[in-house]
Structure 1
Amino acid sequence: MLSANARREEIYHLAVTTGLASVEELSARFEVTASTIRRDLALLNGQGRLARTYGGAMALGAHPEASLRQRTGEAFEQKHAIARWAASVIVPGENILLDAGSTVGALAHELRGFEKLSVTTPGINTMQELADSEGIEVDCLGGRLRSLSQSFVGPLAEAALERMSFNRVFLGADAVTAEDGICEADHAQTRLKELMARRGRSVYVLADSSKLGLRPFHAWARLALPWTLVTDDGADPRQVQKFRDAGVRVEVAEVSAHEDFRSRPRVTSDASSAEILDDLRGDR
């Protein structure tokens, strides 16, 4: 059980990074009463950190979107469990499209041992993971660099997609709902995700359980059925059922309690991303 101060810090962290759930959902998450949550929100409001809203609160004075570097360390075990499931359905020799983001970056890490694979991506972290994989051919969707997500977006990336097709497309998400699809902080990203989904024979959205049912931003990518949501075994069964009722296939990856995920190497360095940009620009 968290201390009161630790619980309030976690509530504030949720507000800054992914948006807040309702008082009832926060109560269930932290296993305290709704009255306790309301007192926490009132205190955070009095400190000028949160603004009260109907049934919850929102962050003040902070950018609501976390950087790729911040997100890489969040839900680490869950993301790698999802990545391992996704890697298991890929067949050597396929042509696949990998989105940017921390969960899809974890999938790229899982693919490094493939002997034959064609990968296209707008994500710098994905290129970093696969740069030394001799059996994998990597194409970059160039365009305008969005530094916060370390990915390329915009008309150039969209135009390149029109000339491509893929066996499988793997998309990340800031959040995802059964009703409206993928939720993102940036409209250019949702536009690109929609186009990416149209170019794939099979489409997968990789989203850990903390992202299901949230609406932290106002940019949406609607996906045509059929598509597959891949999440972890911490997902709320009610949320999972909502997706299935909407016609979405849901795959639940089991998170191992025994494997030491943190022993695996992962890229979080901003300097590494800068080195890749130098290579792309031909500065070396």
Structure 2
Amino acid sequence: MMRSLERHAVILGLLRQQEHVTIEAMAAACDASLQTIRRDLNQLSEDGRVVRYHGGARLADLARTATYEVRSASHVREKVAAGQLLARLIPDGASLFLAGGSTLALAAQELRACERLTVVTNNLHAAVTLYDKTGFDVCVLGGTMRPASGSMIGEDAVRMIERYSLDYAVIGTCGISADGALLEYDQGLVPPILAMIANARQTVLVADGSKFGTKGIVRAANLEAVDHFVTDRAPEGAAAELLARHGVEVHPAGLPSADRTLDGRERPQDYRNEENIRAHIDKNFQ
């Protein structure tokens, strides 16, 4: 059973992903009773962190402003390592969808090391990072903006995705369940992810090792749809067995597999080391 502080963290995480969340959804995410969640919301409301309404809550305005910065500052070293490996694995001249999320926003900075990429993205943070890269063709999807994730969602975004047939769908996830489901907290993010997977020849999941066992409330896809898993370290135990069972090729940062791109071409021996990762973090997160 979760302690109150743990429930508060889950509740605030949900509210950072969605503008409004019902008490029932919070109770399911925390595996707690409705009465317990109501007590938690009373405490968070007294602290000025949430605003209650009948049947649910939203973040208070002061808490809302830090949404993206809070999420993007977690597991930064691991996300950067995975992003740097992604840049080594994506072949020059490739076309790819780049989904939303803080991990892929960080990975976009590393993709600038590639050449002649075509990038179709609903990730506004990634688009800002890539738009002025010489030789890149960047398409930003239209739709409705989700401030909590910096992503464009909705029917317009999906229709634009369906116009393309690209090499790779590069996606992230909030969590990976024991049955292989890729989880999100915001159901609005799911249709663009599914459309990207359906309109790409291969799917690349980029996530740090902390995502295994992490809770979410919406199933976005399944590991069965994933061809490659790019991560900061080699999965072990149940996580490794899960990936093997679904036939996913694992690419952990720092191992020899990074010497070839996903289409089998050799990469120069310039893999960025711990010193480069530290310099990136110092520059962007101090």
The alignment's TM-score, normalised by the length of structure 1, stands at 0.69
Shift of 1:52: 7.4
- For structure 1, the 5+ residue unaligned runs are 1-6, 19-49, 269-284
Does structure 2 retain, via aligned residues, the 8 Å contact 1:225–1:247? no
Shift of 1:193: 0.7
Task: Report the counterpart of residue 25 of structure 1 in structure 2.
Answer: none
Shift of 1:88: 0.8
Task: Report the counterpart of residue 94 of structure 1 in structure 2.
Answer: 94
Correspondences of 1:131-210 after superposition (within 5 Å): 131-177=131-177, 179-210=179-210
8-17 or 244-253: which moved more? 8-17
**2-structure distance, mates of 1:166, 1:68:** 28
Cα deviations by residue, 1:237-282 (Å, 9 ceiling, x for unpaired): 322222212322222224965441413437x9xxxxxxxxxxxxxx
In 2 relative to 1, CA 256–134 (structure 1 residues): closer, same or farther, beyond 3 Å?
closer
Does structure 1 retain, via aligned residues, the 8 Å contact 2:184–2:219? yes
In 2 relative to 1, CA 201–264 (structure 1 residues): closer, same or farther, beyond 3 Å?
farther
Task: Report the counterpart of residue 84 of structure 2 in structure 1.
Answer: 84
Task: Report the counterpart of residue 263 of structure 2 in structure 1.
Answer: none
- Are 1:67 and 2:67 matched, yes or no? yes
Task: Report the counterpart of residue 103 of structure 2 in structure 1.
Answer: 103
Does structure 1 retain, via aligned residues, the 8 Å contact 2:87–2:113? no
Does structure 2 retain, via aligned residues, the 8 Å contact 1:114–1:135? no
Shift of 1:217: 1.7
Task: Report the counterpart of residue 263 of structure 1 in structure 2.
Answer: 282
Does structure 2 retain, via aligned residues, the 8 Å contact 1:179–1:246? no
| Aligned-partner residue type, residue 208 of structure 2 | D
In 2 relative to 1, CA 208–14 (structure 1 residues): closer, same or farther, beyond 3 Å?
farther
Task: Report the counterpart of residue 232 of structure 2 in structure 1.
Answer: 232
Cα deviations by residue, 1:212-250 (Å, 9 ceiling, x for unpaired): 122332343235445222222274532222221232222
**2-structure distance, mates of 1:242, 1:115:** 34
| Aligned-partner residue type, residue 123 of structure 1 | N
Does structure 2 retain, via aligned residues, the 8 Å contact 1:166–1:201? yes
In 2 relative to 1, CA 231–177 (structure 1 residues): closer, same or farther, beyond 3 Å?
farther
Shift of 1:15: 6.5
In 2 relative to 1, CA 15–74 (structure 1 residues): closer, same or farther, beyond 3 Å?
same
Cα deviations by residue, 1:15-65 (Å, 9 ceiling, x for unpaired): 6438xxxxxxxxxxxxxxxxxxxxxxxxxxxxxxx97749xx989336699
User: What fraction of aligned residue pairs are identical, expressed as a percent?
Assistant: 25
Q: Give the 4+ runs in structure 1 shifted more than 6 A.
A: 7-11, 63-66
245-254 or 84-93: which moved more? 245-254
**2-structure distance, mates of 1:216, 1:224:** 18
| Aligned-partner residue type, residue 17 of structure 1 | G
Does structure 2 retain, via aligned residues, the 8 Å contact 1:94–1:167? yes
**2-structure distance, mates of 1:257, 1:134:** 27
In 2 relative to 1, CA 132–209 (structure 1 residues): closer, same or farther, beyond 3 Å?
same
| Aligned-partner residue type, residue 114 of structure 1 | C
Task: Report the counterpart of residue 258 of structure 2 in structure 1.
Answer: none
| Aligned-partner residue type, residue 177 of structure 2 | T
Shift of 1:184: 0.7
**2-structure distance, mates of 1:10, 1:253:** 30
Count of aligned pairs between the two proteins:
229
Does structure 2 retain, via aligned residues, the 8 Å contact 1:100–1:151? yes
**2-structure distance, mates of 1:127, 1:145:** 13
The alignment's TM-score, normalised by the length of structure 2, stands at 0.69
**1-structure distance, mates of 2:237, 2:11:** 23
- For structure 2, the 5+ residue unaligned runs are 15-28, 42-49, 51-57, 255-271
In 2 relative to 1, CA 256–71 (structure 1 residues): closer, same or farther, beyond 3 Å?
farther
Shift of 1:8: 9.0
**2-structure distance, mates of 1:85, 1:112:** 13
